[in-house]
Structure 1
Amino acid sequence: MTTFWLAILLLIVIALFIVWRIFTAENNAIGAENGNIRQETNVTLYHEHLSQLEHDLAEGSIEQDSFLQLKAELDKTLLQDANASEANVLEPQQKSWLWPVAIGFSIVSLSLYSYMILGAYPQLNSPAAMNESEAHSELSPEQMLAYRLQQLQREVANDPSNSQALFSLGQAYISVGEFDNAVEAFDGVIAQVGEHAELLGPKAQAMYYKNNQVINEDIQLVIDKALALDSLDAATNILLGMDSFSNRNFEKAVQYWETVLNSERPGISKQALMGAVEEAKNQLRISNDGVTSSLTAENVDLTLPRLTVDVSLAPNVQEALMDSEDKTVFIYAIAAEGPRMPLAAVKIKASDLPLSIVLDDSQAMTPQMRLSSVDKVHIYAVVSMQGNVGIKPGDFKVEVLDIDVMEKEPINMQISVLVP
């Protein structure tokens, strides 16, 4: 803080120095120079006039008495001009200090006023408020959630009729795992504004989590009421999708979640929901003992590539992953010659291995880049330690190269190599 005020003081001193320098230079140099020029001009004119008088006297144009009279007047005029020049030089010197003092005072006053009113001085003068703001910025997400919960509790306590704050409080209770309080908050909102799907859906979610993620009769009753009021209610369909996914009914989960995505309702985290849909589709592909096809055998087009890959973990990788959280495994095929964009890809968990999967055109990322668009591929299976696509140092991998896309025999891949 001291450094800040010293910097301001230095800037003000520099500004005042510039102002005083300008006025000092004007008074001592410019004024004196103008006075000297005027005085020199008067002297020159005096000599010219005197020379003309002497010439007229020599030619007899004027008499000696007239010459003396005219010369006396000329001398008097020169003396008056000299006195006037000196007065003009001295007068600015006597009055010039008023301008720099006025300008300097204006600079200091305007600078301080502007900073006090328009600048950050109120914040600097309120260290408690600044400390509180800085403290909030350093809180962890869990601490911020707890702080937000306390804020909402105070708002509701101050105004129990604030239904919006009460609804937000219910959602905050779900986030911190206080499901009984969440249900009570949602019931309070319903008592104020009536039963609406957007209130019943979150209430059903709180009841679902409280009941260890099992839908019982009471929860189903709330779900039925919400869907009767709005069949596209986001919270209710997301809940049903989560329950379907946990019960390994991946196709149903995709249907519920895509219903929410296609509804274009505001306030939905589309990116997270799309990730959940993609995960459900991946799990759907590897269901039924890892066979990634929902088609019956008679409906399979035998002219299209279907690469069966048996993926497992080597003992050294199993040991390395034993004490860590479940890692993501990517199995994908890229063209043996050409772009490295995956032609088919599957994402699973390391705990799912060993597993047999099928790579086919249904897993293509674009219609133009598919297994059927090339003749040979490289296949990779990667345990991602960071959970990101690509092969990075610290990951475990296995690769098989130059595989014919029409290969019918299973391809054995045991993940064993540590990426340096």
Structure 2
Amino acid sequence: MKFAFYAAAAVMLVIALALLLVPLIRQGRQSGRSRGVFAIVLAIAFVVPLGAIGLYALVGTPATLGGVEKPAQISIPQAIAELRQRLAEQPGDVQGWLLLGQTYGMLKQPSDARDAYDGALKADANNTVAMVGWAEADSLVRPDHRIDGRSRELLERAVAADPQSQRGLWLLGISNFQMGRYAEASALWKKLQPMLDPDSGVAQAVAEQIAQADARAGGATAPAASTSSNTSSRAQLHVEVALAPALKAKLAPGDTLYIFARAENGPPMPLAVAKLPAASLPASVTLTDGMGMTPQFTLSSAPRVFVAARISRNGQAIAQTGDLEGDAGVVDTARTEPVKIVIDRTH
């Protein structure tokens, strides 16, 4: 089948060239042109196209393409492995560390992202992008999503060095809100507002958080009826925590007690959390909206919450094997009687 195709193509080519070249040769002879010239013309006219056909038959068919090696496609894990290898050889590559941190962030791996931003900070301690990235990743790693300690210090430095850092202003405002410093949170978010597209969803969300912060700081201008309604709807849960006698021997100096509430159906982030020395057990706390991790997720934002307590053996907010824990199950946020928890099991 393939031979017949090439043979037919060759015959058609010869006929076409003959119809074109024979009149030209006759005219040339009448003009006194040398016969050798026409021989060369005929040779080129026939040999070159036929040679092209032969070359196509050899390497131009789809079958021969199968022998051409395709470029290898690299997967994301392979790309990350190669980048990490390069960074191991060149630890001063700040942009490489930032790229690694951003990649881990997109993959929802905040612990690895934090490590990558830490590498960037070791290479350049004043890199504001790395400061903000580390703080954000650290808040995502922590189950309580608090922004304090080193995270807050880095954000303060980043915003001081780059007052236009939108992410830095937002996160530092959240940190202030978590600490009950509502006026300062509002002030930071008001600096952020002019940098945003006023018609965007982000600008609307920021405006809502400013309103919440102003209301809690006592600077709201909403109608009195509305303010009264909001105040009455704010949830408060009185929680009493005790340690089971069988576990008292496992309590060690320096252990930390976390008491928290999270939405029955929603993100795992706590809507309110309290941190106390475990030595204070039995303990009693009141969980409120002001103990939320972010302005948009508060105790009042959920009708029912899961309330629990945990004793951290190493002081970390992330649950570890060997921690002691207990819970009261799901309760209404409108509940007025105390929520009682007994820490009676090991994680």
Larger radius of gyration: 1
Q: Which structure is higher in helix share?
A: 1
Q: Which has the higher contact order (CA 8 A, sep 6+)?
A: 2
Shorter-chain TM-score category?
Answer: 0.3 to 0.5
TM normalised by structure 1 equals 0.37
TM-score by length of 2: 0.44
